[in-house]
Chains A and B, each alone.
Chain A
Amino acid sequence: MTKKEITLLGVLFLCLVIVMYIFFRNQVKEAPLSSETHQKSERKDEEETIQKKKILLFFPSEEDSLLHGEEREIISSSLLIEEARQVVEELLKGSNEGYISPFPPETKLRELFLTEEGVAYVDFSRDIQEKHISGSSAELATIYSIVNSLVYNFKPIKKVFILVEGREKETLGGHINLSQAFKPEFDLVAK
């Protein structure tokens, strides 16, 4: 397959996912037509069945140039993508233990996809690039905070491809190549 064909397939896949997403969202909106009492009892059931799962996030620190693990809880889901989304959302919230947040505060997660080959495509809002401080160390911190956190917590995820506004970008700030899927770098993690 040529690069063009891969890109085309990627775009088609993306369209399919978006269509499915819209379809399902509409269905969910249509569903809660039932009575309020029914809704309430449903919610109770949900709360009872909510199961938490411990995960590890990686943040840079003021102390050294390494990434440090911070434990967090997410809601368990049968869908891996749902859990992976939560990991990225938690990363974007920043650290509770005084580590550095390597993301511009405005950054939003747009989408997250997983291919059969184990590549997670993580799509961020333009802020991650436009408001990035630039610089090799800063870009490496941002990238490997995401990549290591996703690969560490989910076995099926082998590599991570970072997208901005749904598109492949050259770099965040002129240094590290974003037009490739990243493998994790656990050498960057403090022992």
Chain B
Amino acid sequence: MSDLGPGLLEATFVLIGILLATSGIRAFLDHSNPRRVTTSAFWLLLAVIFAFGAVLPDRVAGIIVLVIGLLSLARGVKTGTFDEGTPEDRTAHARRLGNRIFAPALSLAVIAVLISTWAPFGDQSGSIAIGIASVLALVIAWALTRAPAPAVVAQSDRMLQQVGPIGMLPQFLAMLGVVFTSAGVGEVVANAIAKIVPEGNQLAGVIAYCAGMALFTIIVGNTFAAFTVITTGIGIPFVIALGGNPVIVGAVAMTTGFCGTLVTPMAANFNALPVGLLEMKNNYGVIKAQAPLAAVLFVIQVVLMYVWAF
């Protein structure tokens, strides 16, 4: 069945393309959206990238990505009004369904893990598992709620548009990682770091990588961006190349970056938003409370990465 792998993975991307195209079309028809044409273009162009990525010439895909970036830059992606239901309506459904409402979400995780552990589709099993599990979980949710078909479409569209362009950021950052690698950014950073960090010393490498993740996150306020830059520059040459298990190193590095998020005013969604929402007096109150915890977790993760990855 592993021959099916590449085809099924491509089919999964076509499915994402359909999801994006649905939002693109609905955004175009939604007159409550102040920028419906550019919003629609944004989602439709993404849909093209996903559905036809395998057959598009690189240069055409590149032009499309560039236009997507311009639409985002021009603040062209907005949302209209969506059916979110009244609180009374949602509460009534919650009473009717009880804890069964958690079943679709639970089944998604369970099905995905089962399929990827079984690994029937070769190397791509993990990604395909997510696709199959998403479809099955949606079917379960649909059967459970007995929602009318148009409501299923409308809700998918609502959530996709509410997540918005920022949801695409990880993919853009992964793309940037490839560009950095091909331009040799990793080597340049590594050469600079090598002047401070003794080469071949695993502990020094782990400390440099973790500190780099936390500090870069503090500066830019985004751990995903830090992961792209610091993993190419420090993580790979100073930790993974010395024999660190890439899976463990990658997983722990990402959460180490989150320690930086806990203490930076740059991460407004997490540290400034609650100050406003809860009407706090001290603008840095949340950061002040989180700092000692972030420090403890940081040290634990340095030790964990060093002990566990080698």
Same complex origin of A and B:
no
> Contact residues of B with A, CB < 8 Å?
none
